[in-house]
Amino acid sequence: MKKLGFVGLGIMGKPMARNLVKAGYDVTVFDVRPEPVAELVAAGAKAESSARNVAACSEVVITMLPNSPHVKEAILGTGGVIEGVRPGAIVVDMSSIAPAASQEISARLAQKGIPMLDAPVSGGEPKAVDGTLAIMVGGPEDVFNQVKGILAVMGASVTHVGAIGSGNVTKLANQMIVALNIAAVSEALVLATRAGVSPEKVFDAIKGGLAGSTVMNAKVPMILAGNFKPGFRIELHIKDLMNAMDTAHELNVPVPLSGQVLEMMQALKADGKAPLDHSALVQFYERMAKVEVRR
């Protein structure tokens, strides 16, 4: 399958689509904003005026959008993928949305005989740029096998985890762990700073031990530099945690720690910090302790 469609060229979608173009695929793109479309066309992609038109000329249609309502509109709405998708095509939604929404969209597409995968990603903008995302995929395994090579262009890890919706359940688990990890790192480094111990030296001392993690290695340097340019925005992490809370409540699963971190992020949003990187969670603690964690 060489003819790909890509709908959604945001902070993640744009570099992902660019990597598919670089890999030699025939990529047709659409976004509601003209600027990223122009960038992709300059890189070798083609452009269409709607998701429907993208689907009409594609063997695999990929969507990468902010949340469940956007994906529903792009796939099922007027001018959406479902109106143009051809028999034999595959739809792959790589957005991070509610698992129930993935199942609903898949059921609608199935009425037209179109299979769908939910394939959310982890790694943020840097890994989207260099094509090393972790991709977790739900849906029929035979369909997954048909597009695994395409997904491997965008990710270093591509894992089939189960039926449709399983990809987004896995992503919610990922986002809960990342959020709690950032919160724990923030708590610890604010404590160290308040105690007069260099947070940079604390990081150097513990990053190779049991407390070390990919999250710590990625986010602590940003915190120490006071660099909160978004790789993954607080407002998007709020969205993911809200989806996690809704899913947990539907399943009668207690998630008290995730709920606490969600409220911390909501407080930062109320303070105008929603566009910042989620590492800015440290600012919640800094404000209360009246210290800054910096080099």
Rounded to whole angstroms, how far apart are CA atoms 159 and 8? 22
Rounded to whole angstroms, how far apart are CA atoms 202 and 108? 52
State yes or no: is 171 an active-site residue.
Answer: yes
Closest CA to 121 of 45, 11, 34: 11
Closest CA to 115 of 165, 164, 160: 164
The single-letter code of the amino acid at 199 is: P
Q: Catalytic residue among 171, 219, 239, 273, which?
A: 171
Q: Where on the phi/psi map is residue 209: left (φ > 0), alpha (ψ -120 to 50), or beta?
A: beta
Give 3's strand partners. Answer: 26
Rounded to whole angstroms, how far apart are CA atoms 222 and 293? 10
Strands 46-47 and 60-63: unpaired
Q: Which two tokens stand for residue 198?
A: 């260099």
Strands 133-138 and 121-122: antiparallel
Q: How many helices (H) and strands (E) does the chain have?
A: 14, 9
Catalytic residues: 171
